[in-house]
Chain A
């Protein structure tokens, strides 16, 4: 038992070491991809984000009178239909049908010739190839849908991940930057304390005093910046972060203009409370979106004559 324990501890250490190696490798790969995509994605998002935000705001006005759940479910259903149509138009439907037929044939062969090892292994090999081919047919539609879906999910996240502050509620405003000479002003909130400097950031505690979409004016060093603050009912979009120039950050936080590269401030954040309801709470909205859109697509698959 003692030896087994020692072996397991050694294996555990080895796995932990490999895992950390994989983590570092993944970081390097992602760094490389980011460096390649960044110069293209940043200006593209600079153009797309404001447009998509206007479109999303216009679309969501029709749900103003309803609970956020209604907007979430309708939007997920519509996206399910849209995905179906895009998939039909961008995928090789004939190729998919052929690959699926091949899979069925090989499965049948496995069932019929289970006593014949040669046929069994051959069929399993061909089954594997057919499955890979089927997956290959998904790549084009996935690539086509990737960017619109990311933009859409980012917009949905601003509505369903967090909620606006309630009147009288407190939150923290965090400015990431090294300059300690800072102050904030604006309507709709009181500053209770701050800035308190931490490790590379400044934090203010503010209290919401008025319902509405407000602007916090931040003066830090020689820079003047703004950050939105939303106080009011659930369902209004909130911007948790005014991002820096990093494209991934811009993708996730599309509602505010990014901070220019040479400013003393790298990002500005507000801690909005998580939206905690059964479907709209943290991460649940995404699961709801996934389930509703997929179920819609599966139900309407025969109507649109789509194969996948």
Chain B
């Protein structure tokens, strides 16, 4: 009898655990209050104002009329990882430790790394032949390869989680791997920062008859195709085998057939067939990558997803394959959501979708793999996927916080935005105007989305629509390292990169890395540092004065608007990691492509020659974001660090001391009275 009772108890416990598992309701807090935050990456207040004035964004205009619109102060520098980290922590870079897309390791002098996450290679294990078997117990003590979130500081949703407020966050940047929920009230899908299966931030693969031998280019790989009787063999490169000493990448074989008369092609892969006319995209296709293990163990399998695009059949065949995304139905050891199975729950409802952080393949456009029209089509597909995800999110949302992020406004703006009459780097005047209209159309679509949200929740929820920064043309590029070299700060004057041995660090006083960062070669910090602390202030003042005096040789315009000293604008435990100076450019200018990675080109100021024709990595006051709300905004000058305190205040959660902002619905006076 006892055994029977015990077995019933076990069954009941299992059932309760099943029902309460995953993203389900737990001890709820928040008193049924609702806050919806829609994040449009890069939505610009000037363009919004113009479109609202023209009656093209009626829903956001209604908020403006009711006092619910302000420009939103962005981060210094106004780069997405920095800006979203400001929002997440309610504090500046000194607290969360993200100062740029790219940081450097001063212990290795200038070794660059992606600031928001770091992949740490595995170690230990049992060495058998060409493999390290991942045995975690002594004496093998294997530690797996893992990606660590480098953003520090407590995210605002942790406070909501503690207070029992149900929190649903979709695609938020700078949160990969997603932080773990301690109280089970958080469901989060990670966004910008999620890598593809190759471990990169998006590596497309293009198969073409015109390619003679395989070659990598920033963001992709071109591979040769040789047709015999209209059939060719190819392989899609997949994830690296981390248990193999050679770390070879797994691959999947393709058989490609073409029909020139029909202008169509066919791809046979792992028992599946995809048939495409020229110019067509396939649906997502699942690929099974087999990772070889020693013969006495079963091989590992990793599932990835790709879409095919048949760009051309004749005269030369060209097939584009998207970066291999983590399969949301079978993410394996890749954790892209919190809880880990949240992504599977979404995929169970919506089917396969992009999981990689950068979804619009801007690199393919920059490298000439896509035309503008092709990029637009791909970006439009991404937006359709996000809208389906938004439907999923709103169908499941009852109360608490719903945060939803759109990347389209950023990545499409980078490629299509062109507001001036000046010559576009790549396009004719008509084309520049035509593609700029794409952005305006996109903004009106975003306004429709806001309209839907307001209609659905307007009467019962606080709605915030915000962006992390605005946008401006990117006409001319400033080569910071060339300027430093020409000014004698980098030695010798023949150096072409800060990463080569050609740089004489015993005579180099400053260098640039990242999109806005300038570092001193400081003694005691940089491995080969020479600038003593007694010379630091004078050198910084000298550099600031000279940078502000830089003029564009083409027309004499000033290039740099502001130069910020990190020790004056940042506070917090991470200030020591920051660049010494943050360079804020005038609209129309930005750091050169070479500067970002520490390279040097021949000239200091040159035309931007890339399809990436708009940017925001300029002076922070040139590119504020937007803040709209269905409630009157009382804050005189709201900024990103005020969003987290606003959300917490809406749920009656005490604002922690680490957050330096305040609720945007309170005036300075009401706050003082409190």
Contacts from A to B (Cβ < 8 Å): 1-2, 5-6, 8-9, 11-13, 15-16, 172, 174, 192-194, 196-199, 203-205
> In the complex, which of the residues A6, A192, A203 contacts B266, with contact meaning CB atoms closer than 8 Å?
A203
Are A8 and B255 interface neighbours, CB within 8 A?
Answer: no
Residues of A within 8 A of B266 (CB): 196, 198, 203
Are B268 and A9 interface neighbours, CB within 8 A?
Answer: no
CA distance A105 to B367 in the complex (A): 81
Are A9 and B129 interface neighbours, CB within 8 A?
Answer: yes
> In the complex, which of the residues B255, B265, B273, B296 contacts A9, with contact meaning CB atoms closer than 8 Å?
B296
Closest CB in chain A relative to B55 CB, distance in Å = 35
Interface string of B252-288 (1 = CB under 8 A from A): 0001010100101110100001011100000000000
Q: Could you list 8 examples of A-B contacts with CB < 8 Å? A: A5-B128, A6-B129, A8-B294, A9-B129, A12-B297, A192-B277, A196-B264, A204-B275
Closest B residue to A201 by beta carbon equals B273
Report whether over half of chain A's contact residues are helix, strand or loop; otherwise say mixed. mixed
Are B277 and A196 interface neighbours, CB within 8 A?
Answer: no
Quick one: given A196-B259, A197-B257, A198-B255, are A9 and B295 in contact (CB under 8 Å)?
yes
A13-B295, A196-B275, A198-B273 known; 10 new pairs, CB 8 Å cut-off, are A1-B127, A8-B296, A9-B295, A16-B295, A172-B275, A174-B273, A196-B257, A196-B266, A197-B259, A199-B231
Closest B residue to A174 by beta carbon equals B273
The answer to the question of B126 belonging to the interface, with a C-beta cut-off of 8 Å to chain A, is yes
Residues of B within 8 A of A203 (CB): 266, 273, 275
Are B273 and A8 interface neighbours, CB within 8 A?
Answer: no
CA distance A12 to B262 in the complex (A): 49
Closest CB in chain B relative to A270 CB, distance in Å = 12
CA distance A198 to B229 in the complex (A): 10
Interface string of B441-474 (1 = CB under 8 A from A): 0000000000000000000000000000000000
Residues of A within 8 A of B294 (CB): 5, 8-9, 12
CA distance A15 to B296 in the complex (A): 8
Residues of A within 8 A of B277 (CB): 192-193
Closest A residue to B129 by beta carbon equals A9
CA distance A205 to B128 in the complex (A): 48
Are B264 and A198 interface neighbours, CB within 8 A?
Answer: no
Are B275 and A194 interface neighbours, CB within 8 A?
Answer: yes
Are B128 and A199 interface neighbours, CB within 8 A?
Answer: no
Closest CB in chain B relative to A189 CB, distance in Å = 15
Residues of B within 8 A of A194 (CB): 262, 264, 275
Are B296 and A198 interface neighbours, CB within 8 A?
Answer: no
Interface string of B113-128 (1 = CB under 8 A from A): 0000000000000111
Closest A residue to B140 by beta carbon equals A1
Residues of B within 8 A of A16 (CB): 295
The listed residue with most A CB atoms (<10 A of its CB), out of B128, B231, B265, B277, is B128
Quick one: given A8-B294, A198-B268, A203-B273, are A193 and B126 in contact (CB under 8 Å)?
no
Closest CB in chain A relative to B300 CB, distance in Å = 15
CA distance A205 to B275 in the complex (A): 7
CA distance A172 to B255 in the complex (A): 17
Closest A residue to B280 by beta carbon equals A193
4 nearest CB pairs, A to B: A12-B296, A12-B295, A5-B128, A196-B266
Closest A residue to B139 by beta carbon equals A1
Closest A residue to B264 by beta carbon equals A193
The listed residue with most B CB atoms (<10 A of its CB), out of A1, A172, A174, A196, is A196
Report whether over half of chain B's contact residues are helix, strand or loop; otherwise say mixed. strand
CA distance A198 to B233 in the complex (A): 12
Closest CB in chain A relative to B546 CB, distance in Å = 62
Closest B residue to A2 by beta carbon equals B127
Are A196 and B265 interface neighbours, CB within 8 A?
Answer: yes
Closest CB in chain A relative to B259 CB, distance in Å = 5
> In the complex, which of the residues A6, A9, A193 contacts B275, with contact meaning CB atoms closer than 8 Å?
A193
Are A196 and B262 interface neighbours, CB within 8 A?
Answer: yes
Closest CB in chain A relative to B412 CB, distance in Å = 28
> In the complex, which of the residues B259, B268, B296 contacts A199, with contact meaning CB atoms closer than 8 Å?
B268
Residues of B within 8 A of A197 (CB): 230, 257, 259
Closest CB in chain A relative to B379 CB, distance in Å = 23
Closest CB in chain B relative to A153 CB, distance in Å = 23
Residues of B within 8 A of A12 (CB): 294-297
Closest A residue to B348 by beta carbon equals A276
Are A5 and B127 interface neighbours, CB within 8 A?
Answer: yes
CA distance A15 to B265 in the complex (A): 42
CA distance A204 to B276 in the complex (A): 10
Closest B residue to A17 by beta carbon equals B295
Quick one: given A8-B294, A9-B294, are A193 and B273 in contact (CB under 8 Å)?
no
CA distance A1 to B230 in the complex (A): 52
Are A193 and B255 interface neighbours, CB within 8 A?
Answer: no
Residues of A within 8 A of B265 (CB): 196
Closest A residue to B268 by beta carbon equals A198
Are A172 and B273 interface neighbours, CB within 8 A?
Answer: yes
Residues of B within 8 A of A172 (CB): 273, 275
Residues of B within 8 A of A15 (CB): 295-296
B residues 220-264 touching A (CB-CB < 8 Å):
230-231, 255, 257, 259, 262, 264
Closest CB in chain B relative to A218 CB, distance in Å = 16
CA distance A190 to B361 in the complex (A): 32
Closest CB in chain B relative to A4 CB, distance in Å = 9
Closest CB in chain B relative to A185 CB, distance in Å = 17
Residues of A within 8 A of B129 (CB): 5-6, 9
Residues of B within 8 A of A204 (CB): 275
Quick one: given A193-B262, A193-B264, A203-B266, are A198 and B257 in contact (CB under 8 Å)?
yes
Closest CB in chain A relative to B303 CB, distance in Å = 16
Residues of A within 8 A of B264 (CB): 193-194, 196
Closest A residue to B256 by beta carbon equals A198
Closest A residue to B293 by beta carbon equals A12
Closest CB in chain A relative to B270 CB, distance in Å = 14
Residues of B within 8 A of A11 (CB): 296
CA distance A5 to B129 in the complex (A): 8
Closest CB in chain B relative to A230 CB, distance in Å = 20
Closest CB in chain A relative to B312 CB, distance in Å = 15
Residues of B within 8 A of A6 (CB): 129
Residues of A within 8 A of B296 (CB): 8-9, 11-12, 15
Residues of B within 8 A of A196 (CB): 257, 259, 262, 264-266, 275
CA distance A187 to B266 in the complex (A): 25
Closest B residue to A5 by beta carbon equals B128
Closest CB in chain B relative to A3 CB, distance in Å = 11
Are A8 and B275 interface neighbours, CB within 8 A?
Answer: no
Residues of B within 8 A of A9 (CB): 128-129, 294-296
Residues of B within 8 A of A198 (CB): 231, 255, 257, 266, 268, 273
Are B276 and A193 interface neighbours, CB within 8 A?
Answer: yes
CA distance A193 to B282 in the complex (A): 13
Residues of A within 8 A of B295 (CB): 9, 12-13, 15-16
> In the complex, which of the residues A1, A13, A205 contacts B126, with contact meaning CB atoms closer than 8 Å?
A1
Residues of B within 8 A of A174 (CB): 273
CA distance A196 to B259 in the complex (A): 6
Closest A residue to B229 by beta carbon equals A197
Interface string of B195-232 (1 = CB under 8 A from A): 00000000000000000000000000000000000110
Closest CB in chain A relative to B174 CB, distance in Å = 35
Closest B residue to A13 by beta carbon equals B295
Closest CB in chain A relative to B665 CB, distance in Å = 45
Closest CB in chain A relative to B166 CB, distance in Å = 26
CA distance A282 to B341 in the complex (A): 21
CA distance A11 to B296 in the complex (A): 7
Residues of A within 8 A of B275 (CB): 172, 193-194, 196, 203-205
Residues of A within 8 A of B231 (CB): 198-199
Closest CB in chain A relative to B487 CB, distance in Å = 58
Closest CB in chain A relative to B232 CB, distance in Å = 12
The listed residue with most A CB atoms (<10 A of its CB), out of B129, B262, B266, is B266
Are A5 and B259 interface neighbours, CB within 8 A?
Answer: no
Closest CB in chain B relative to A95 CB, distance in Å = 34
CA distance A204 to B262 in the complex (A): 12
CA distance A194 to B275 in the complex (A): 8
Residues of A within 8 A of B257 (CB): 196-198
